[in-house]
Amino acid sequence: MKQSLLFASLIFFAGSVILNLSILTANSSGAPSGRAGAPAESGATCTGCHGGTNTFLSGLITSNIPVTGFVPGQTYTITATINRPGVTKYGFSISPQNNSGTLMGTLINTSSETQLVGMNKYITHTSSGTNAPSATKTWTFDWTAPTADSVVFYGAFLAANGNSTTSGDNTFTSQLKVYSQTYLSVQHQEWLDKSVFFYPNPVISNYINIRTDIDKITDIRLYDCNGRPLKTNASVQGNIAEVQLNGLQAGIYFVQVTLQSHGMVHKKVIKW
C-alpha cells in the first residue's frame, strides 16, 4: 500500500512539473490568445497563468499616429515599452479591438522578437524577445488603420521575477486610444463653432457682435443666402469684432470668421 501511494505521489509530482514546465515554455515563447485585458475577454491578462499583482499603467503603448488622427488604410508604427527596476525578463500581448472583441485594423509583424497569434488578432513576444538586461524592454510593430472613428489598443505586460516558476510575477495593463482624422476634424469644428459667439442673432439693429475666447480674429467676410460675397464693414480688435449690416434688406446672411490658429467658422445670421 505504501509503495502504491508513493508511486502515485511521484506520478502526480511529475505531472505537476511537466505541466508547469509546459506553461513556462509556452509563455516564454509567446502569450496565449485572449490575454490582452480587453473588455470582450472579461479583462483577462497574464494573471490567468502567472501569480502576482495586476496593475494599470498609462503610457506603455504609444504610436507615431499624428495628433490630427489616423487615416483609414494607412500604416503606422505602434511601440510597447515597459521598465520596472530590477526586472530583466518581460512578455506582452496587445490587441486593437472593439467592445465586441472584433479586431480593428490589421496587425503587421515587423520583428523576430514579436509574432502574431490568435488568427492575427494579437501580437506578442517570441522567446528571443523577452530579455531586457537594462530593465527596459521595447517592442514595435505596424498597424494598418481601419475605417472607424476610434480604436483602442489593449495591452497586458508581464514582468517576470526570474524564479523559473509562475509565482510572484507582476502583470501590468495599459491602453492606447487613437482617433481618425475625420472624427477629430468634425469634433474640432464642433468645438470651434461653440467657441465663437454671435449676438444678437437674429439681428434687431444694424450690427452684430462677434466674440471668442480662444484666438484672435484675423478676417471676417459676409455672404448673402446664395453664397455671393458682400461688402464687409467690420471692426476687429483682437478677439472681438463688430459687423455692420447697414443697407441690407431683411433676410438670411452668412458670416465667415477666420481665427489666427484654429481655422474658420461659418454662422447663419438673420436680419429682421
DSSP reduced 3-state for 183: helix
Asked whether the beta carbons of 235 and 190 are under 8 A apart, the reply is no
Interatomic CA distance for residues 256 and 120, integer angstroms: 48
Bridge partner residues of 137 (DSSP): 82
Backbone angles phi, psi at 99, to 5 degrees: -65, -20
With a CB cutoff of 8 Å and minimum separation 6, the contacts of 213 are 195, 239
Domain ranges in the chain are 25-179, 185-271
Largest CA distance in the chain: 113
∠ CA(77), CA(116), CA(119), 5° rounding? 120
Which range has the top average pLDDT, 14-18, 31-35, 123-127?
123-127
Q: Which amino acid is at 86?
A: G
Instruction: Give dist(CA 12, CA 18) in Å, integer.
Output: 10
The region of weakest confidence among 13-27, 176-190, 228-242 is: 13-27
Q: Do domains 25-179 and 185-271 have the same CATH topology?
A: yes
Distance CA 87, CA 136 (A): 8
* Type of residue numbered 110: T
Please report which helix (H) or strand (E) contains residue 152, including its range: strand 150-159
Q: How is residue 268 written as a grid cell?
A: 447663419
CB 142 within 8 A of CB 159: no
Contact 267, 196 (CB under 8 A): yes
Q: How far apart are CA 53 and CA 161, in angstroms?
A: 12
Minimum mean pLDDT range among 14-28, 45-59, 149-163: 14-28
Class of domain 185-271: mainly beta
Long-range Cβ contact pairs of 224-229 (< 8 A, separation 24 or more): 224/251, 224/253, 224/254, 225/251, 225/252, 225/253, 225/254, 227/254
Model pLDDT for residues 99-141, shown as the tens digit of each residue: 999 999 999 999 999 999 999 999 999 999 999 999 999 999 9
Is pLDDT above 90 for 22? no
Q: Which set of grid coordinates corresponds to residue 214?
A: 480662444
Kindly report the average pLDDT of the chain as a whole number.
88
Measured distance CA(31)–CA(155) in Å, rounded: 11
Instruction: Tell me the pTM.
Output: 0.74
**In the predicted model, what is the mean pLDDT of residues 24-47?**
80
pLDDT of residue 205: 86
Instruction: Check: CB of residue 217 under 8 Å from CB of residue 185.
Output: no
Q: How many CA atoms lie within 13 A of 62 on its CB side?
A: 8
- What architecture is domain 25-179? Sandwich (2.60)
Q: Which residue do the cell numbers 504610436 mark? A: 63
